[in-house]
């Protein structure tokens, strides 16, 4: 009995099984034919590399890396690279498929891909990280490229990582190819607004949802889980828009202030002390209580499997804005639906990042760069339209937003596949 429970929980926590479950539901509702289902259900290509890297102390270590291209039906594969000690191929497969659906939801001309390297960045020096990144890139040289597969930052990777990927690729090509990655530093072909883009996208779709609920920004109480790139930017921009950020939930503590946290001061405190703990503008609350605080909007912006069958019943938000990829398991979805929580699914909510990545790729290819106002204006237009598309689709078909987003995406990708036909 105990093993049964633990194995069903283990299955629940497997992101690839979650991705398949969501895919199957949307495919059935769309009446997708068997052949198309087989094609779109599995990734087109999975590459595993074992990369030898010399550590600073002279020892040789071998790291495992993955790059999965789920689909290139609508354009080059697109998606981030994450560095984490617990990265698995199943996780990368799921994340790659989510990128396919995400790019289709916001209707940008990309397929979906994702990469990961099994390593613990906290234990590695900058030069070790650089060697890992460069060797990983070199091993993937024939698989990536502006027309093939375009990596970007994800968990524990950043502008510097992208600069190393761009340089390594360019050295192999014997010319500077900025469009091979996005999320680069501004001085190397990066786009204005890219760093803030995922958080900004979360803020834009949340503001659309608030209108549906008749909530004014100053009456809106927000809890954000995660204070990395996505969480901190979402917090900053939501606070700027007048929302009250009542709690930030981090891995070690939750910081709470019912009157609203001063996000700039909290960021400064974290940068100074390494943690949000003991911030004078709020109180420390046990970490695990943070997600279940009474609020209007909950933004999980950390990682997968945060809301599960074990805890979803305790969520007290009206709106769930999924800043992270895969924060909610399919089992938790059912519970949230019963509770009537309005879910803005990850493949819509966090699509601002890849949308500005698309703008970056376009700018690099043209060699002509946009100002921030243009980037943010175009991002807003795409996010608002996509939100309306998904919510409209949900109403029309009588399904929840997540299923609607998947159906919309599957419809677009399968249409592209049909137009292309099968090369034999």
Looking at the annotation, which residues are catalytic? 114
**Least distance CB 294 / ligand GLU (angstroms):** 29
Angle at 53 between CA 48 and CA 58, to 5 degrees: 160
**C-alpha to C-alpha distance for 237 and 197, rounded to whole angstroms:** 10
Nearer to ligand GLU, 225 or 254 (CB): 225
Binding positions for ligand GLU, 160-219, rule CB under 6 A: 182
Closest CA relative to residue 360, chosen from 379, 347, 346: 379
What secondary structure does DSSP assign to 247-301, as a single string? EEE-SS-EEE-TT---HHHHHHHHHHHSSSTT-TTSEEE-GGGGGGS--SEEEE-
Closest CA relative to residue 239, chosen from 276, 264, 212, 210: 264
Nearer to ligand GLU, 78 or 412 (CB): 78
Q: Does 327 bind ligand GLU (CB under 6 A)?
A: no
Q: Does 357 bind ligand GLU (CB under 6 A)?
A: yes
Which of 22-30, 218-226, 276-284, 353-361 is the region at the interface with ligand GLU (rule: CB under 6 A)?
A: 353-361
Which of 55-63, 117-125, 352-360, 362-370 is the region at the interface with ligand GLU (rule: CB under 6 A)?
A: 352-360
Q: Does 325 bind ligand GLU (CB under 6 A)?
A: yes
Torsion of CA 125, 179, 204, 258, to 10 degrees: 10
Q: Does 353 bind ligand GLU (CB under 6 A)?
A: yes
**C-alpha to C-alpha distance for 343 and 350, rounded to whole angstroms:** 13
Which of 244-252, 297-305, 312-320, 349-357 is the region at the interface with ligand GLU (rule: CB under 6 A)?
A: 349-357
Q: Does 80 bind ligand GLU (CB under 6 A)?
A: yes
- Give me the count of residues in the chain: 424
**Least distance CB 140 / ligand GLU (angstroms):** 15
- Residue with nearest beta carbon to ligand GLU: 80
Residue indicated by tokens 């009446």: 31
Closest CA relative to residue 402, chosen from 346, 350, 354: 346
Nearer to ligand GLU, 79 or 260 (CB): 79
Which of 45-53, 282-290, 298-306, 350-358 is the region at the interface with ligand GLU (rule: CB under 6 A)?
A: 350-358
**C-alpha to C-alpha distance for 13 and 329, rounded to whole angstroms:** 7
Q: Does 97 bind ligand GLU (CB under 6 A)?
A: no
Percent helix, strand and coil across the chain, each to the nearest 5:
50, 15, 30
Nearer to ligand GLU, 226 or 282 (CB): 226
Q: Which residues bind ligand GLU (CB under 6 A)?
A: 78-80, 152, 154, 182, 325, 350, 353-354, 357
């Amino acid at each position: 009995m105990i093993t049964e429970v633990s194995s069903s929980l283990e299955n629940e926590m497997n992101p690839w099984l979650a991705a398949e479950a969501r895919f199957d539901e949307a495919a059935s509702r769309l009446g997708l034919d068997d052949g198309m289902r087989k094609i779109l259900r599995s990734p087109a290509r999975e590459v595993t590399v074992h990369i030898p890297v010399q550590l600073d102390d002279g020892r040789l270590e071998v790291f495992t890396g993955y790059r999965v291209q789920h689909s290139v039906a609508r354009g080059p594969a697109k998606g981030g690279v994450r560095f984490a000690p617990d990265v698995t191929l199943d996780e990368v497969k799921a994340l790659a498929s989510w990128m396919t659906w995400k790019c289709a939801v916001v209707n940008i001309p990309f397929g979906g891909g994702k990469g990961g390297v099994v390593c613990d960045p906290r234990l590695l020096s900058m030069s070790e990280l650089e060697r890992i990144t460069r060797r990983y890139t070199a091993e993937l040289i024939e698989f990536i490229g502006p027309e093939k597969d375009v990596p970007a930052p994800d968990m524990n990777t950043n502008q510097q990582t992208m600069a190393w990927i761009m340089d390594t690729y360019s050295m192999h090509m014997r010319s500077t190819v900025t469009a091979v990655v996005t999320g680069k530093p501004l001085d190397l072909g990066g786009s204005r607004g890219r760093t803030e883009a995922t958080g900004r996208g979360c803020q834009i779709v949340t503001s659309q949802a608030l209108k549906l609920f008749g909530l004014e920004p100053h009456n809106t109480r927000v809890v954000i889980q995660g204070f990395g790139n996505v969480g901190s930017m979402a917090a900053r921009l939501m606070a700027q828009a007048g929302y009250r950020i009542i709690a930030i939930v981090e891995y070690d503590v939750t910081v709470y202030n019912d009157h609203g946290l001063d996000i700039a001061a909290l960021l400064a405190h974290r940068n100074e002390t390494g943690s949000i703990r003991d911030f004078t503008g709020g109180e420390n609350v046990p970490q695990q209580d943070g997600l279940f605080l009474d609020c209007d909007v909950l933004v999980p912006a950390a990682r997968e499997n945060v809301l599960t069958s074990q805890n979803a019943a305790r969520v007290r938000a009206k709106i769930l804005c999924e800043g992270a990829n895969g924060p909610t398991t399919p089992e938790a979805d059912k519970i949230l639906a019963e509770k009537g929580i309005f879910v803005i699914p990850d493949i819509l909510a966090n699509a601002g990042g890849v949308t500005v990545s698309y703008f970056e790729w376009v700018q690099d290819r043209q060699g002509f760069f946009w100002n921030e106002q243009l980037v943010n204006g175009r991002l807003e237009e795409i996010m608002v339209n996509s939100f309306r598309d998904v919510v409209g689709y949900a109403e029309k078909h009588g399904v929840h937003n997540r299923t609607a987003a998947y159906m919309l995406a599957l419809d677009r990708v399968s249409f592209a596949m049909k137009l292309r036909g099968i090369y034999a």
